[in-house]
A and B are shown apart, each in its own frame.
Chain A
Amino acid sequence: EAQVTQNPRYLITVTGKKLTVTCSQNMNHEYMSWYRQDPGLGLRQIYYSMNVEVTDKGDVPEGYKVSRKEKRNFPLILESPSPNQTSLYFCASSQEAGGTYEQYFGPGTRLTVT
C-alpha cells in the first residue's frame, strides 16, 4: 500500500529539548515536503526536498532543520523547540505521473511545546 508514515503521531515536549519527527514514504517519490497547520492559517510549507541531498526552504523555515540522506526518508528536526512551534505537522511526498499530480500526506504529528 502506497503511504507516507510519520512518527510520533503525538508529542508533548518542553522548550529547548531537541526532537526529531520522522517521515518515510514507500512510493520512490522524488519530492518530499514538510508543512505545519495552524488554526486560521491553512497549511504552510516549512522545507522541501527535490531529491537526495537537495533541500530548500519553504515559507516558514525558521527554527527547523531537515535532511535527505535517503530517498524514502525526510526527517524534521527541531533543535530548540519553542511554544510557537506548537502545531500540527504534515509530511508529504509527490511525483508527477500520467499528466496528473498529487501529494500524498502523512497522518500528521501533533506537537505541543510547553
Chain B
Amino acid sequence: AQKITQTQPGMFVQEKEAVTLDCTYDTSDPSYGLFWYKQPSSGEMIFLIYQGSYDQQNATEGRYSLNFQKARKSANLVISASQLGDSAMYFCAMSPTGFQKLVFGTGTRLLVSP
C-alpha cells in the first residue's frame, strides 16, 4: 500500500523568504508520480508541480521546486520568495503505477506574514 506522510501540520514564514514543506512517501511500485497541490481558503485544489520517479532532474515551476531524493523517499516542496498569497494548505500526493488514483498526505498549513 502507498502512504504519504507530511509531518508539519503548520509552518510560518516571512514574506520574501524561502520555505520547505516536507513530504515522505512509501511505495513498492517501480514507477510512480509525486505531486504537490495548493488549497487556498476558497477550497479549490490547485496543481503546483509534478515529479516522475524516473526523472533525473528535480522538477521546477516558477517559484516552486521539488527536492526529490529517491533513496530517502522524500519529495519536499521548496517555495522561494514567499508571497502573502502563498498562505494556504499544501498537500503532497503520490500516484502509483497506472495513475488511476492519488494518495494524499494530511497537508501542511502555510502562513506567510508581512
Contacts and interface: CB of A to CB of B under 8 A. Distances in A.
Interface of A: 31, 33, 35, 40-45, 48, 50, 56, 58, 88, 90, 92, 94, 96, 99-105, 107-108, 110
A102 B47 contact: yes
A41 B106 contact: yes
Interface residues of B, number: 22
B99 A96 contact: yes
Contacts of B33: 101
B102 interface: yes
B50 interface: yes
B6 to A, nearest CB: 8
B101 interface: yes
B99 A31 contact: yes
Contacts of B93: 43
Main secondary structure of the interface of A (DSSP, over half): strand
A42 B105 contact: yes
Contact of B45 (A31, A50, A58, A90): A90
A50 B99 CA distance: 10
A21 B26 CA distance: 33
Interface string B73-114: 000000000000000000101010001111111110000000
Contact of B100 (A33, A41, A43): A33
A102 B91 CA distance: 14
Contacts of B52: 99-101
A96 B105 CA distance: 22
A89 B30 CA distance: 30
18 contacts: A31-B99, A35-B102, A42-B106, A42-B107, A43-B93, A43-B104, A90-B45, A94-B99, A99-B52, A100-B50, A100-B52, A103-B35, A103-B95, A104-B47, A107-B44, A108-B43, A108-B44, A108-B45
